[in-house]
Amino acid sequence: MPLDPHRLLGLAFASADALFEIDAEGRLSFAVGATAALAPGGETALIGRPWRDLIAEADRPMAEALFAGLGDGGRRGPVTVALAGQGAAQLSAFRLPQNGGRTSCALTFAPHAAAGPPASLPDRRGFEDLVKTALEAGQASRQDFEVALVEMAGLSQAVGSLPAEVGAALSRRLTGALRAESHGGAGATKLGEDRFALLRPKGAEAPEGLAARLSQMLSADGRPLDVKATARLVPLEGEASPTRVVRAIRMVLDDFIRDGAQLGAPQSLSEVLNQSIRRTLDKAGALGAAVAQRRFRLVYQPVVELKSGAVHHYEALVRFTGDESPFPLIRMAEELDLIEELDRAVIEQAARRLAQEAGGDLKIAVNVSGRTITSPAFIDGVLKLLDQPAPTAGQLMIELTESYAIDDLPQADRHLRALRDKGVQICLDDFGAGAASLDSLRRLAIDVVKIDGRYVRELQHGARESTFVRHLAHMCNELKVKSLAEMVETPEVEDAVRRAGIDFAQGWLYGQPSEQPTPPAPRGGARPAARRQGAVETWG
Ligand code: C2E
Ligand code: MG
Ligand code: MG
């Protein structure tokens, strides 16, 4: 059959609103279709212009990575990009072999896509939501997906050793590349300093191809970095419901964050489910027994008032074995309805510790899960505890953690008010870590906002974080809520949070969590020597 150009155009427009071609220099050499939406003057005005003019700045690194990863005969996309003018579109690219390095592109306008998707990666919870939505949509369209676990060992160290601007440019490029590799350009998340996860159409290619393309991005000022990307794929096939798959993926991500890629990702979804269910049941049994038999201890970390340098109170953190972080077990306890009993047992233990110093000035903050706070039985128990002879009201505080979204905010608010009436102060933990933070601050009776450590630790790196922290401090001030920065590790970060107007600070700079409430060792310099407990009696 002869290659009739007219017919080919018809076929191309069956799935695109506009078609254009980019030459080897990155300029538009051809444009046809609904191009008036891209530039006034349409097709003719576009010829000779750099492709970058078409796409919003935030999405250019992604488009660049998309084009850079094209081999002869290769097709990539679609990814959703914000257009430089208005709106958003799905962009796919194809490189015809022996076509002089020219790239053929198809754009389909996407009126419902959020114009200007953020140039950063969604957080983990956002990613999990995205996996679920994609799986649900995929069930209808029969599209299968996989999750790629990507590790770039040594990346954060390498970025840290670069001049700030160069490091920031590398991060932008890498973020763009990860987005370009992911479903719709939005299915990538950062799991830790050097670890990422991507949702992708299943079977696109072997993991080595992905790793090689990402490795190519790892250069600064034209020189390659001593960092290599490795990738593992977890296919999401099978009949399991999207909810169940997401649950299994959560466990896989937990394992990956903890152990990295070297342990070998599971080969199939049923293996994931089997492994995680077996492991979960084992651990759940052990965890349930540990909670029931009170086989845990509390460690205490000081929180200082920045103005005076005096300890304000101590946060109690649970430990099951050694000094290991309890976080994975806490997550599991939340999933498996064990958290309320644990939170209750922790409060009882903290109350006993306070009772040892009845009349003293020790104050302890305990973590309570967002899942527990809506339970009437839990609140009744705490209120009873506070009525007991050794008066601990005024010495006990609660940090509401949001690792589990609070499903009934009005109920949580009623419970928090009942506790506050008894003199218990309420801190909203991990502020900014989850999508629900602002809503919680707006709708709950809160005394203190604790800014998530990820923003605080990165204060030394960039203006973006410090703007964020400064504005949060300002907002807290306006709302007459105190602010607390966690994970303050260095004097520089302490200075930055103090300058931002934050009231309280916590972190390794003042002390690791320890068996007994221990005030920070005095540091040289202008800061007043820390006392075990300051003159500050209340938050407000
Ligand atoms: P969180 O409440 O945000 O606790 C702060 C975490 O940061 C603690 O981890 C602490 O050891 C760590 N940390 C403190 N200072 C620094 C620092 O300067 N740098 C860094 N990198 N980390 C620092 P931990 O003890 O592993 O606890 C993890 C999470 O587990 C807690 O986060 C909290 O959400 C949860 N958790 C801990 N104990 C309990 C508990 O008794 N009940 C409940 N529901 N959750 C708990
Ligand atoms: Mg906490
Ligand atoms: Mg926290």
Nearest CA-CA partner of 523 in 477, 499, 486, 488 = 488
Question: What digits encode the pLDDT tens for the residues 313-334?
Answer: 999 999 998 888 999 889 888 8
Ligand sitting nearest the alpha carbon of 431: 3
Residue 528 has pLDDT above 60, yes or no: no
300 CA distance to ligand 1 centroid (A)?
10
Domain 124-281: give its CATH superfamily.
Reverse transcriptase/Diguanylate cyclase domain (3.30.70.270)
- Pocket lining: 396 vs ligand 1, CB cutoff 6 Å: no
315 CA distance to ligand 2 centroid (A)?
7
Instruction: Yes or no: say if 191 and 127 are a contact pair by the CB < 8 Å rule.
Output: no
- Pocket lining: 533 vs ligand 1, CB cutoff 6 Å: no
Ligand sitting nearest the alpha carbon of 299: 1
Residue 403 has pLDDT above 80, yes or no: no
What is d(CA 35, CA 416) in angstroms, rounded to the nearest whole number? 56
State the chain's mean pLDDT as an integer.
85
174 CA distance to ligand 1 centroid (A)?
29
Q: In one letter, which amino acid is 463? A: A
Q: Do domains 124-281 and 294-506 have the same CATH topology?
A: no
Ligand sitting nearest the alpha carbon of 346: 1
- Pocket lining: 433 vs ligand 1, CB cutoff 6 Å: no
Residue 464 has pLDDT above 80, yes or no: no
**Structure confidence at residue 523 as a pLDDT band (50, 70, 90):** confident
What is d(CA 390, CA 358) in angstroms, rounded to the nearest whole number? 6
**How high is the pLDDT of residue 537?**
34
**How high is the pLDDT of residue 143?**
81
**359 or 161, which is more confident:** 161
Question: What digits encode the pLDDT tens for the residues 64-98?
Answer: 999 988 888 888 889 999 998 888 999 999 998 88
Beta carbons within 8 Å of 96's beta carbon, 6+ residues apart: 72, 73, 102, 104
**How high is the pLDDT of residue 233?**
85
Beta carbons within 8 Å of 248's beta carbon, 6+ residues apart: 240, 269, 272, 273, 276
485 CA distance to ligand 3 centroid (A)?
9
Residue 90: Cβ within 10 Å count: 20
Question: What digits encode the pLDDT tens for the residues 164-206?
Answer: 999 889 999 999 999 999 998 889 999 988 999 999 998 878 8
What is d(CA 51, CA 26) in angstroms, rounded to the nearest whole number? 6
Residue 273 has pLDDT above 80, yes or no: no
- Pocket lining: 489 vs ligand 1, CB cutoff 6 Å: yes
What is d(CA 257, CA 331) in angstroms, rounded to the nearest whole number? 14
How far, in whole angstroms, is CA 310 from its chain's centroid?
A: 32
Residue with CA at minimum distance from ligand 1 atom 37? 317
**How high is the pLDDT of residue 477?**
95
Question: Span 212-224, mean pLDDT?
Answer: 85
Question: Span 348-371, mean pLDDT?
Answer: 90
Residue with CA at minimum distance from ligand 1 atom 23? 487
Spans of all domains in the chain: 5-110, 124-281, 294-506
User: 505 has which bridge partners?
Assistant: 304, 485
Residue 539 has pLDDT above 60, yes or no: no
Percentage of the chain with pLDDT > 70? 87
What is d(CA 475, CA 345) in angstroms, rounded to the nearest whole number? 34
Q: What angle, 0 to 180 degrees and rounded to 10, lies between the N-to-C axes of helices 327-335 and 242-259? A: 170
Kindly report which listed range (135-139, 163-167, 207-211, 377-381) carries the lowest average pLDDT score.
Answer: 135-139
Residue 185: Cβ within 10 Å count: 26
Residue with tokens 């009744």: 380
Residue 263 has pLDDT above 60, yes or no: no
Instruction: Yes or no: say if 107 and 89 are a contact pair by the CB < 8 Å rule.
Output: yes
Please give the backbone phi and psi of residue 399, each rounded to the nearest 5 degrees, phi first. Answer: -105, 115
35 CA distance to ligand 3 centroid (A)?
49
What is d(CA 361, CA 397) in angstroms, rounded to the nearest whole number? 13
Ligand sitting nearest the alpha carbon of 300: 1
What is d(CA 250, CA 401) in angstroms, rounded to the nearest whole number? 18
Is the pTM for the entire model greater than 0.75?
A: no
Task: Specify the ligand 1 atom closest to the Cα of 399.
Answer: 2
Instruction: Mention the CATH class of domain 5-110.
Output: alpha beta
364 CA distance to ligand 2 centroid (A)?
11
Residue 385 has pLDDT above 60, yes or no: yes
- Pocket lining: 301 vs ligand 1, CB cutoff 6 Å: yes
**How high is the pLDDT of residue 536?**
34
Residue list, CB under 5 A from ion ligand 2: 367, 399, 429
Residue with CA at minimum distance from ligand 1 atom 45? 367
Beta carbons within 8 Å of 161's beta carbon, 6+ residues apart: none
Residue 124, both tokens: 């983990």
Residue with CA at minimum distance from ligand 1 atom 35? 327
Question: Span 33-38, mean pLDDT?
Answer: 84
Q: How far apart are the first and last CA of the chain?
A: 81
Kindly report which listed range (90-104, 294-308, 480-494) carries the lowest average pLDDT score.
Answer: 90-104
Task: Quote the strand ranges of 225-291, DSSP E.
Answer: 228-235
- Pocket lining: 343 vs ligand 1, CB cutoff 6 Å: yes
Question: What digits encode the pLDDT tens for the residues 422-457?
Answer: 999 999 999 988 777 888 999 999 999 999 998 898
**How high is the pLDDT of residue 540?**
34
What is d(CA 257, CA 280) in angstroms, rounded to the nearest whole number? 17
- Tallying the residues shown for the chain, one arrives at 540
Residue with CA at minimum distance from ligand 1 atom 46? 367
Residue with tokens 């991507």: 198
Instruction: Yes or no: say if 397 and 315 are a contact pair by the CB < 8 Å rule.
Output: no
- Pocket lining: 369 vs ligand 1, CB cutoff 6 Å: yes
What is d(CA 256, CA 263) in angstroms, rounded to the nearest whole number? 8
Evaluated on CA atoms 2, 3, 6, 12, the torsion sign reads positive
Instruction: Mention the CATH class of domain 294-506.
Output: alpha beta
Kindly report which listed range (184-188, 284-288, 296-300, 505-509) carries the lowest average pLDDT score.
Answer: 284-288
**How high is the pLDDT of residue 40?**
82
Test site for ligand 1: of 295, 300, 330, most ligand atoms within 8 A of the Cβ: 330
- Pocket lining: 367 vs ligand 1, CB cutoff 6 Å: yes
351 CA distance to ligand 1 centroid (A)?
19
